[in-house]
Amino acid sequence: MTRMIRHRIETAWAVALKDTGEYLGEVEITNIVDGYLGEIGYMFLQEHWGKGFANEAVTAMIEYAQNVLNLKRLYADIENKNGRSIKLIEKLGFEFIAVLPESNFYGRIADVAYYSRTL
Ligand SMILES: CC(C)(COP(=O)(O)OP(=O)(O)OC[C@H]1O[C@@H](n2cnc3c(N)ncnc32)[C@H](O)[C@@H]1OP(=O)(O)O)[C@@H](O)C(=O)NCCC(=O)NCCS
């Protein structure tokens, strides 16, 4: 709860296997501004990468942001060397806007790619 307040997390889902309930990862919408713009973030356990789970869960969260939260635009900040995340976000229709060199990436310095898409 404290983490949710600190990061202004509006919606956070734990993602689990339907059959067994095994935990796979998380998807969240944070930093909503004016009921219009939100940030999307996600994290999956490494043993579950490359199986399409992130794609399925992030797609569902994008639909939720559009149909339930009524947001009009989403953005994602991604470390520029995070090829898997960039592949995923581009597959989901986000547009590359720019790399922000040596930015504050959750408390450490990194080159951050900014992606955005309308809903
Ligand atoms: C970023 C991250 C979520 C991507 O996860 P992922 O498992 O690579 O993403 P997907 O679920 O979309 O899997 C895609 C791969 O699964 C394959 N796949 C297998 N079965 C699939 C299916 N049924 N449907 C879709 N894709 C499938 C795809 O072909 C694709 O492989 P490819 O990359 O070789 O083309 C994951 O690497 C991660 O959690 N990283 C650590 C945290 C992180 O970096 N978060 C982002 C911070 S910005």
Q: Residues 45-97: pLDDT tens digits?
A: 999 999 999 999 999 999 999 999 999 999 999 999 999 999 999 999 999 99
- Mean of per-residue pLDDT scores for the chain: 94
Cβ-based neighbour number of residue 54 at 10 Å: 23
The residues facing 41 across adjacent strands are 28
Q: What pLDDT sits at residue 95? A: 98
Count of domains observed in the chain: 1
**Phi, psi dihedral angles at 65 (to 5 degrees):** -60, -35
Q: What is the pLDDT of residues 2-22, one digit of tens each?
A: 666 655 668 999 999 999 999
> What does pTM read for this prediction?
0.93
Q: Which atom of ligand 1 is nearest to the CA of 76?
A: 48
Look at ligand 1, atom 35, and give the residue with the nearest C-alpha: 50
Angle, alpha carbons 79-88-68 (nearest 5°): 100
Nearest to 29 by CA among 75, 72, 67: 75
Instruction: Write out residues with Cβ below 6 Å of ligand 1.
Output: 25, 42-44, 49-55, 78, 82, 84-85, 87-88
Structural domain including 80 reads 2-118
Pocket test for ligand 1, best of 15, 24, 39, 49 (most atoms within 8 A of CB): 49
Residue 2, both tokens:
């404290």
The CATH number of residue 73's host domain is 3.40.630.30
Residue 79: both structure tokens together: 């470390």
**DSSP bridge pairs for 34:** none
Asked if residues 95 and 116 have their Cβ atoms less than 8 Å apart, the reply is yes
